[in-house]
Amino acid sequence: MIISTLQTTVRTTTHTVRGAVAADWQCLVRRGMLHSECEAVEHWTLPAGARLRLDPGHGVEEALLVLDGDLHISLADGGTTVGAGQLALVPHGIEGDLRAGDRPVRLITVRTLAAAVTDRLPPRIPELITP
Protein backbone atom coordinates (compact mmCIF):
# COMPACT_ATOMS: atom_id res chain seq x y z
CA MET A 1 0.00 0.00 0.00
CA ILE A 2 1.02 3.57 -0.58
CA ILE A 3 0.53 5.74 2.52
CA SER A 4 0.86 9.53 2.76
CA THR A 5 0.27 12.28 5.33
CA LEU A 6 -2.01 15.31 5.53
CA GLN A 7 0.84 17.79 4.96
CA THR A 8 0.02 18.41 1.29
CA THR A 9 -3.28 18.42 -0.59
CA VAL A 10 -4.40 18.52 -4.19
CA ARG A 11 -6.75 21.26 -5.31
CA THR A 12 -9.44 19.77 -7.53
CA THR A 13 -12.48 21.25 -9.21
CA THR A 14 -16.00 20.37 -8.17
CA HIS A 15 -19.31 22.05 -8.87
CA THR A 16 -21.96 24.04 -7.04
CA VAL A 17 -25.29 25.41 -8.19
CA ARG A 18 -23.45 28.62 -9.15
CA GLY A 19 -20.53 26.97 -10.99
CA ALA A 20 -17.14 25.38 -10.42
CA VAL A 21 -15.29 25.69 -7.10
CA ALA A 22 -12.06 24.26 -5.75
CA ALA A 23 -12.05 21.42 -3.22
CA ASP A 24 -9.02 20.06 -1.37
CA TRP A 25 -8.35 16.33 -1.73
CA GLN A 26 -5.65 14.02 -0.48
CA CYS A 27 -5.26 10.30 -0.85
CA LEU A 28 -4.05 8.90 2.47
CA VAL A 29 -3.82 5.25 1.40
CA ARG A 30 -3.94 3.77 -2.12
CA ARG A 31 -4.09 0.10 -3.05
CA GLY A 32 -0.67 -0.93 -4.26
CA MET A 33 -1.02 -4.67 -4.74
CA LEU A 34 -3.39 -7.29 -6.10
CA HIS A 35 -5.92 -8.76 -3.65
CA SER A 36 -6.22 -5.64 -1.53
CA GLU A 37 -9.95 -4.97 -1.11
CA CYS A 38 -9.31 -1.41 0.12
CA GLU A 39 -9.04 0.79 -2.97
CA ALA A 40 -8.27 4.06 -1.17
CA VAL A 41 -8.69 6.15 1.95
CA GLU A 42 -9.14 9.82 1.05
CA HIS A 43 -9.49 13.11 2.93
CA TRP A 44 -11.76 15.75 1.37
CA THR A 45 -12.45 19.39 2.24
CA LEU A 46 -15.48 20.60 0.28
CA PRO A 47 -16.46 24.27 0.26
CA ALA A 48 -20.08 25.14 1.08
CA GLY A 49 -22.42 23.90 -1.67
CA ALA A 50 -19.74 21.82 -3.46
CA ARG A 51 -20.91 18.61 -5.17
CA LEU A 52 -19.23 15.27 -5.84
CA ARG A 53 -20.80 12.69 -8.14
CA LEU A 54 -21.37 9.07 -7.12
CA ASP A 55 -20.59 7.05 -10.24
CA PRO A 56 -21.88 3.44 -10.40
CA GLY A 57 -19.16 2.64 -12.95
CA HIS A 58 -16.35 3.07 -10.41
CA GLY A 59 -16.88 -0.50 -9.12
CA VAL A 60 -16.41 0.45 -5.46
CA GLU A 61 -18.39 0.64 -2.25
CA GLU A 62 -17.75 3.65 -0.02
CA ALA A 63 -17.87 4.54 3.65
CA LEU A 64 -18.20 8.29 4.17
CA LEU A 65 -17.15 9.58 7.61
CA VAL A 66 -18.11 13.23 8.08
CA LEU A 67 -15.62 15.07 10.30
CA ASP A 68 -17.08 18.62 10.07
CA GLY A 69 -20.23 20.10 8.51
CA ASP A 70 -23.30 18.53 6.94
CA LEU A 71 -23.11 16.30 3.86
CA HIS A 72 -26.29 15.86 1.81
CA ILE A 73 -26.49 12.54 -0.06
CA SER A 74 -28.92 12.55 -3.00
CA LEU A 75 -29.88 9.25 -4.64
CA ALA A 76 -32.50 8.30 -7.23
CA ASP A 77 -34.79 6.94 -4.49
CA GLY A 78 -34.32 9.82 -2.01
CA GLY A 79 -31.63 11.30 0.13
CA THR A 80 -30.35 12.00 3.60
CA THR A 81 -28.06 14.35 5.49
CA VAL A 82 -25.04 13.07 7.40
CA GLY A 83 -23.55 15.31 10.09
CA ALA A 84 -20.20 15.52 11.86
CA GLY A 85 -19.35 12.23 13.56
CA GLN A 86 -21.75 10.20 11.41
CA LEU A 87 -20.96 7.51 8.86
CA ALA A 88 -22.81 6.71 5.63
CA LEU A 89 -22.33 3.52 3.61
CA VAL A 90 -22.76 3.74 -0.17
CA PRO A 91 -23.11 0.35 -1.87
CA HIS A 92 -21.70 -0.53 -5.28
CA GLY A 93 -23.74 0.56 -8.29
CA ILE A 94 -25.42 3.60 -6.70
CA GLU A 95 -25.77 6.79 -8.73
CA GLY A 96 -26.26 10.17 -7.10
CA ASP A 97 -24.28 13.00 -5.62
CA LEU A 98 -22.80 14.33 -2.42
CA ARG A 99 -23.23 18.00 -1.57
CA ALA A 100 -21.75 20.12 1.19
CA GLY A 101 -24.30 22.09 3.19
CA ASP A 102 -24.11 25.78 4.08
CA ARG A 103 -20.67 25.32 5.64
CA PRO A 104 -17.53 23.56 4.37
CA VAL A 105 -17.45 19.80 4.90
CA ARG A 106 -14.45 17.69 5.84
CA LEU A 107 -14.80 13.96 5.35
CA ILE A 108 -12.84 10.74 5.09
CA THR A 109 -13.86 8.30 2.36
CA VAL A 110 -12.92 4.63 2.45
CA ARG A 111 -13.35 3.04 -0.98
CA THR A 112 -13.35 -0.75 -1.22
CA LEU A 113 -13.73 -3.05 -4.18
CA ALA A 114 -17.22 -4.46 -4.54
CA ALA A 115 -17.86 -8.16 -3.93
CA ALA A 116 -18.79 -8.43 -7.63
CA VAL A 117 -15.12 -7.64 -8.35
CA THR A 118 -13.36 -9.51 -5.53
CA ASP A 119 -15.44 -12.67 -6.03
CA ARG A 120 -13.85 -13.05 -9.46
CA LEU A 121 -10.28 -12.91 -8.14
CA PRO A 122 -8.40 -16.13 -7.42
CA PRO A 123 -8.39 -17.21 -3.76
CA ARG A 124 -5.76 -15.67 -1.54
CA ILE A 125 -3.22 -17.99 -0.02
CA PRO A 126 -1.37 -16.36 2.88
CA GLU A 127 2.34 -16.82 3.07
CA LEU A 128 3.48 -19.20 5.75
CA ILE A 129 5.78 -17.59 8.29
CA THR A 130 8.25 -19.86 9.97
CA PRO A 131 10.21 -18.88 13.07
Q: Judge whether 128 lies within some domain.
A: no
Residue span of the structural domain in which 40 resides:
1-82
Q: Is residue 32 part of a domain?
A: yes
Question: Is the pLDDT assigned to residue 103 strictly greater than 50?
Answer: yes
Q: Does residue 68 sit within a domain?
A: yes
19 exposed, middle or buried (CB, 10 Å; 0-12, 13-18, 19+)?
A: exposed
Question: Does residue 101 form part of some domain?
Answer: no
Instruction: Between 101 and 30, name the one with better pLDDT.
Output: 101
Evaluate whether residue 16 is within a structural domain: yes
Least confident of 35-49, 65-79, 84-98: 35-49
Does residue 87 lie within any of the structural domains? no
Asked if the model's pLDDT at residue 116 lies above 90, the reply is no
Tally of domains in the chain = 1
Indicate the DSSP class of residue 126: P
Answer whether 0.85 is exceeded by the pTM. no
Compute the CA torsion angle 13, 42, 108, 48 (nearest 10 deg). Answer: -10
Q: Distance from first CA to last CA of the chain, Å, rounded? A: 25
Distance in angstroms (rounded) separating the CA atoms of residues 23 and 54? 16
Percent of the chain with pLDDT over 70: 66
Residue 116 falls inside a structural domain? no
Mean pLDDT of 21-25: 69
What does the pLDDT look like over 59-82, one tens digit per residue? Answer: 789 999 999 999 999 988 889 999
Q: What is the pLDDT of residue 24?
A: 73
Assigned domain for 103 exists? no
